[in-house]
Amino acid sequence: MSIAKLASSLKPRDAEVLALAEREADPARSVQFEPICRGPWFAVAALAVVGLLSVPGMLWRLVRALLGSEARAR
């Protein structure tokens, strides 16, 4: 599996994107989608934290994608 395919397999599925879109277009939840504006250093730190916290989820998705592709190959 190429790196591009691996990265693609980590992207949200269509159903997840649709669910997110429905939430985003709900005015009652608009605050959950507003820009976070607490300055550049906060943004850098928050990006680093989000990156670290999402590693387990990414690994889980990666394993699932690899197992899925192997099963399909068999």
Partner 1 sequence: MAAARLVDAGLRVQMLDAGLQPNEYGRLVPDQPFLEARRRDANQSRYLLGDAREGVPVGSQMVGALLTPPRQYVLEPTNSSRSPIRTSGELEIRQSLALGGLGAAWGASCFTYSPAELQRMGLEPGVFPRLYDEVAAEIGVSGSLEDDCYPFSFSGARNLQPPVDLDENARSTMDAYSRNRAALNARGVHLGRSYLAVLTRELGERRANPYFDLDFYHDHGQSVYRPAITIRQLEQRENFTYTGGVLVHGFEEPASGGVTVFCRGLTDRAATEYRARTVLLCAGAVNSARIAFGGLGAAECQTSFLNSPAAFFPCVNLARLGRRPDVRRLSLAQISGILVPPDDPAELVSFQINHYASLLLFKLVKEMPLPPWAGLLVARLLVSSLSIVGVYHADSPNPRTSLRLSRSKGSGVAVADIAHTPDPAIERVRSAREQQVLAAMRQLRYLPLGAVRPKWGTSMHYAGTIPMTAAGAANALSTDRDYRLRGTRSVFVGDSSTWNYLPAKGLTFTIMANARHAAERILGSLS
**Which residues of this protein are in contact with partner 1, per CB under 8 A?**
7-8, 10-12, 14, 16-22, 24-27, 30-44, 46-47, 50-51, 53-54, 57-58, 61
Q: Which two tokens stand for residue 65?
A: 């994608």
Give whichever of 28 and 74 is closer to partner 1, judged by the CB atom: 28
- Choice between 14 and 74, CB closer to partner 1: 14
Kindly report the number of other CB atoms within 10 A of residue 43's CB atom. Answer: 13
* Beta carbon nearer to partner 1, 56 or 74: 56
Q: Where are the alpha helices (DSSP H) in the chain?
A: 3-10, 14-24, 40-53, 55-73
